């Protein structure tokens, strides 16, 4: 993290952060801050909303007005904030469990409404903070505290899920591909509609230690080798959708201003 | 914060280092090493200022010096 950005956007008295050695959350948060700095958004009109989990601790480290909400409900809170204050740029920081299990319904209906919020999902394929249980994105056969012999469930593809539910900007990046990731997050900020960036990030402690990759550097190499910019069977990274469609809050405001016409 | 040495292209805030080893594993020039679980700069003259360490450190310990960053 560039020292200028650290001084500008972080609550320095809250650092060092609580994340474990080698946890990718710090890198993902760094990329988000770089993207915020690069964007043309009014920095005094940014609100960060997070749920519960390791990644959701991120909101507490930044010098923005923020809400650290209840488990799975970050998108619901963000929806209320955006409706009450449409001029705010609302950024949700959440994890795979928070966003797609407990908050799964909020996610799909946020996508369906195409409400102008930006969701950054730090996907480490596990519930870290609560003890290493498997999440909806844990790969099949991976060992977790609730699947000691390996997970039998199939995974959600967060990008496909969001795209099909109606999100208008959908992208996936990794903390290894840092500069690429910054660009993806900037793209999310530019879209006026529901934007989601799935950020693949290692959890060496709860995931790695149970799955033969306890070393952060090995998890990073795995991230590098298992992803690709093209369709070659690896996990694809890049932008999957970037389209304009009617946005919920603007449509709602239009409706209110037309009220005189439609009421008889 | 940190020691922003004049001649050193990078500076570290060692207190925050958690010894994860990401910087030492990925630095292309072997400039960063772990000593007793914390990062240390070795042979800083080999540093090419690529900035990889600054980007990959999850704990915001390493900064490219202002002289290079410009
Ligand atoms: S448990 Fe995993 S995700 Fe949570 S802080 Fe530790 S390494 Fe990061
Ligand atoms: S800037 Fe590049 S060469 Fe210099 S210490 Fe960092 S990673 Fe190594
Ligand atoms: S990447 Fe950062 S936290 Fe990890 S060993 Fe290097 S300086 Fe320390």
Residue B39, SS3 per DSSP: strand
Q: What is the pTM of this model?
A: 0.95
pLDDT digits (tens, 9 = 90+) for A9-38: 999 999 999 999 999 999 999 999 999 999
Mean pLDDT of A64-69: 97
B2 CB within 8 Å of a chain A CB? yes
Q: Among B15, B23, B53, say which to mutate for ligand 3: greatest number of ligand atoms within 8 Å of CB.
A: B23
Predicted confidence (pLDDT) per residue in A104-139, tens digit: 999 999 999 999 999 999 999 999 999 999 999 999
Q: In A, which residues are within 8 Å of B2 by CB distance? A: 3
CATH code for the part of the protein at B10-64: 3.30.70.20
A1 reaches B (C-beta below 8 A):
yes
- Please state, rounded to an integer, the average pLDDT across all residues of chain B: 86
Q: Judge whether A249 is closer than 8 Å to chain B, CB to CB.
A: no
Burial class, A44, CB count within 10 angstroms (exposed 0-12 / middle 13-18 / buried 19+): exposed
Provide ipTM, 2 decimals: 0.93
Q: Which residues of A93-114 are buried (b: 16+ CB within 10 A; e: fewer)?
A: bbbbbbbbbbbbebbbbbbebb
Task: Please check whether residue B18 touches A, CB under 8 A.
Answer: yes
Q: pLDDT tens across B19-64, in order?
A: 999 999 999 999 999 999 999 999 889 999 999 999 999 999 999 9
| CB neighbour list of residue A84: distance below 8 Å, 6 or more residues apart | none
- Which one, of A3, A30, A196, lies nearest residue A118 by Cα? A196
Q: How far is the CA of B1 from the centre of ligand 1 (A)?
A: 26
Q: Whose CA is nearest to atom 3 of ligand 2?
A: B47
CA distance from start to end of chain B:
18
* pLDDT at position A262: 56
| Contact between chains at B63 and A2 (C-beta distance less than 8 A) | yes
Percent of chain A residues past pLDDT 70, beyond the cut:
98
Residue B55 Cβ inside 6 Å of ligand 3? The answer reads no
Any idea how long chain A is?
A: 264
What are A82-107's pLDDT values in tens digits?
999 999 999 999 999 999 999 999 99
CATH for the stretch A23-257: 3.40.50.970
Confidence (pLDDT) at B8: 60
């Amino acid at each position: 993290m560039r020292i200028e950005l650290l001084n500008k956007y972080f609550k320095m008295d809250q650092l060092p952060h609580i994340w474990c050695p080698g946890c990718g959350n710090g890198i993902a948060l760094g990329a988000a801050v770089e993207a915020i700095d690069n964007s043309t958004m009014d920095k005094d009109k940014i609100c960060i909303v997070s749920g519960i989990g390791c990644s959701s601790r991120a909101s507490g480290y930044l010098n923005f007005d923020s809400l650290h909400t209840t488990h799975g409900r970050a998108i619901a809170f963000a929806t209320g904030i955006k409706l009450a204050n449409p001029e705010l740029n609302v950024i949700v920081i959440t994890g795979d469990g928070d966003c797609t299990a407990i908050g799964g319904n909020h996610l799909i209906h946020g996508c369906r409404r195409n409400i102008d919020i930006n969701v950054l999902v730090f996907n480490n394929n596990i519930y870290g903070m609560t003890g290493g249980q498997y999440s909806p994105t844990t790969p099949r056969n991976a060992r977790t505290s609730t699947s000691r012999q390996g997970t039998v469930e199939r995974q959600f593809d967060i990008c496909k899920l969001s795209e099909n539910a109606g999100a208008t900007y959908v992208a996936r990046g990794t903390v290894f591909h840092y500069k690429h990731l910054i660009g993806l997050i900037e793209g999310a900020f530019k879209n006026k509609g529901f934007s989601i960036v799935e950020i693949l990030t290692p959890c060496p402690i709860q995931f790695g230690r149970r799955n033969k990759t306890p070393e952060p550097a090995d998890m990073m190499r795995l991230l590098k080798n298992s992803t690709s910019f093209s369709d070659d069977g690896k996990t694809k990274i890049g932008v999957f959708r970037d389209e304009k469609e009617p946005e919920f809050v603007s449509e709602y405001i239009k409706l209110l201003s037309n009220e005189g016409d439609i009421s008889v | 914060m940190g020691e922003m040495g004049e001649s050193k292209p990078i500076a570290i805030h060692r207190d925050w280092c958690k010894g994860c080893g990401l910087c030492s594993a990925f630095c292309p020039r072997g400039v960063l090493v772990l000593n007793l679980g914390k990062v240390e700069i070795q042979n800083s003259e080999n540093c090419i200022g690529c900035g990889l360490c600054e980007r990959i450190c999850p704990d915001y310990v390493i900064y490219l010096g202002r002289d290079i960053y410009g």
